[in-house]
Amino acid sequence: MHLQVSLTFDLSASSSLADLEEAIVTQGHESMCQALQQAIKEWEQHQRRCPTCGRDEVRVEGTVGRTLLLVFGRIRLALRRYRCQHCLHRWCPARRLLRDLRGQQVSPGLREAAVLAGSSWPYRHAAQLMERLCGAHISAEEVRQLTMQQGNQQAHAQQQHAEEVVASAPKEEKGEAGVAGIDGGWTHSCEQAGGMEGKVAVLACNKQVQEPKAQPDPSQLTWYELAKRSAKGKRLGPPHKRARWMQRRYVATFAPSHALGSLAEAAAREVGLDEESSVVVADGAQWIKQEAQRHFARATHILDWFHLWRVVRKAIRETQREQQHPETWLTQERTQIKDWLWHGEVDPAIKRLQSWQEKGEGKALEAALTYLEHQRDWIGSYEAWRQAGYPVGSGVIERAVSLVINRRMKRGGMRWKRTNATALVALRTTFLNTDWPREPSHRAFV
C-alpha cells in the first residue's frame, strides 16, 4: 500500500520566518488528516473479501460517519459498508480497524499525549498547549477525564503490585547502600477545610561523588574580579565535593500511610536497596516513624538535622529575648548546644533547656523540649553519619515532594478530591521513574 500526499500553500513575497512556519504547520496538519483518510480508504480496499464466505464479489452499500480526534487534528470519516453478492452478508471492515477505540473518538496517540499533558499542567492549559503545538482539538474536560481514568488504573496497579511484592519473600542477595526519604506535602482539598496531606517517598542509590571544578588562585585575580565573584556568592576556598544519587524511584499517594509504606518497600526492593546499609531520613512525623519501623526496621533512622536545629534555635532565640540576655550569651549558648546535638549528646541539651524553663516559660522552649524527648531515638552523632557518607538532611525528599505534588497541585484556585489526587500523583511518579534513566540534560521533570 503506497500513499503520496502533496503539500501546497500560497505565501506572500514579504512573508517573515514566523509566517512561513505557521503556514507550513497549518498545511501540514491538514495534509496529515488527508493522509489518514486516504490510508483508511486504501485499507478498506484490501478488506473487500467477505468474512463469511470468503468471496470478493461485493458492492458498496452506503457509508457510516465517524469522527476521530487525533494528535494532529480532527477528521470526519465515511466508513464504507459492503454487501456480499453471494451470501448477502453486510459488514463495515473499518470497524475492525477502529475497535481499539471502543466507541470513543480519541485516538491512542492523543490519549497518551493528553494524559501526559494533564499530569504536568492544569487541564485548561494542557488543552490549549496541545492545540497550539500539535493542532489537537480536545477540550479541557476531555483531558481531565482521560487523565483521571488512566491515573485511577495506574494507582490501583501500583498498590496491587506493591502488596504482592511486600507479601513475597525478600531476596537473599546483597543490595546497594542508599537512602529512603519519606515526607508529606499539603495541598488544598474540596472535601476537608484544612487541606489534605499527600505522602511521598523517594528511594535513591548508586551514589557517585562528582569532582569539583577547579577554583582560580585568589592571588592571580584583580580586585574587580574578586568583587564580582563575591557579588555572585562564589567562594574562593577549597573546592567542595558533591555527591549525587544516580538512580532514584518515586512513590506517592494520598491514601493512608500504610499504603505508602507498602509502595516504598516494594520500590526499595526493585531498585536493589540493601536495608541494613541504608538510611531513612525524615522530619520525625509520627506516621513516618511508624512506617519506617514497619518496613525499614534494620535501616539507620536519621532525624533531619535542619528540622532539629530550627526548633532548638527558635527556643534559644526566644529565651534570649524573654530573659534579656546579651548577644554574646546567645552566640555562646547556640554554639554549645549545636555542638552537643551535632555529636548526638541529647541529655546535656535537654538539661540546659530545662534550666532556662525554670526561670521562665515560653512556647518555643516547651516545643523544643517536647520535640527532643519524642525524637530522641532518631537523633545520633551527625558528625559520624556525615563521615560515613550518610545524608543528614532531607533535601532529596523535599525535592521529591516539590516534583510530585507542589509543581502540579499547589497552584492558585486548585482544590482536589482525595481519589483524584491519588490518581494524579500515580501518573506523576510513573513519569518521573520512566524519565530518570535518561541523560541529566534530557530530563523533563515537569
Which parts of 135-216 fold into alpha helices (H)?
140-167
Cell digits of residue 142: 476531555
3-state DSSP helix/strand/coil % of the chain, to nearest 5: 50, 15, 30
What is the average pLDDT score of the chain? Answer: 89
Give the residue extent of every domain in the chain: 27-105, 307-378
The CA distance from 134 to 136, in Å, is 6
DSSP code for 96: H
Cα 149 versus chain centre, distance: 18
Q: Which residue has the cell 448477502?
A: 88
Beta-bridge mates of residue 205 = 178, 247
| pLDDT band, residue 299 (cuts 50/70/90) | very high
Q: Is 58 exposed, middle or buried (0-12, 13-18, 19+ CB in 10 A)?
A: buried
DSSP per-residue codes, 365-425: HHHHHHHHHHTGGG---HHHHHHTT---S-HHHHHHHIIIIIHHH-STT--B-HHHHHHHH
Cell digits of residue 224: 574587580
Note the pLDDT tens digit of each residue in 158-216. 999 999 999 987 776 677 889 999 999 999 999 888 899 999 999 998 888 777 677 77
Residue 218 has pLDDT above 80, yes or no: no
183-189-190 Cα angle (round to 5):
165
Cα 168 versus chain centre, distance: 27
Integer CA distances (angstroms), 390 to 245, 291, 405, in order: 12, 20, 26
Pairing of strands 300-303, 279-282: parallel
Beta strand residue intervals within 140-238, DSSP E: 178-187, 196-210
Model pLDDT, residue 2: 65
User: What SS3 class is residue 261?
Assistant: helix
| pLDDT band, residue 3 (cuts 50/70/90) | low
Full-model pTM: 0.85
Model pLDDT, residue 424: 97
| pLDDT band, residue 285 (cuts 50/70/90) | very high
DSSP per-residue codes, 264-315: HHHHHHHHTB-STT-EEEE---HHHHHHHHHH-TTSEEEE-HHHHHHHHHHH
Q: Which stretch of DSSP H or E encloses residue 251?
A: strand 242-253
In sign, the C-alpha dihedral spanning 295, 297, 298, 299 is positive
Pairing of strands 90-91, 73-84: antiparallel
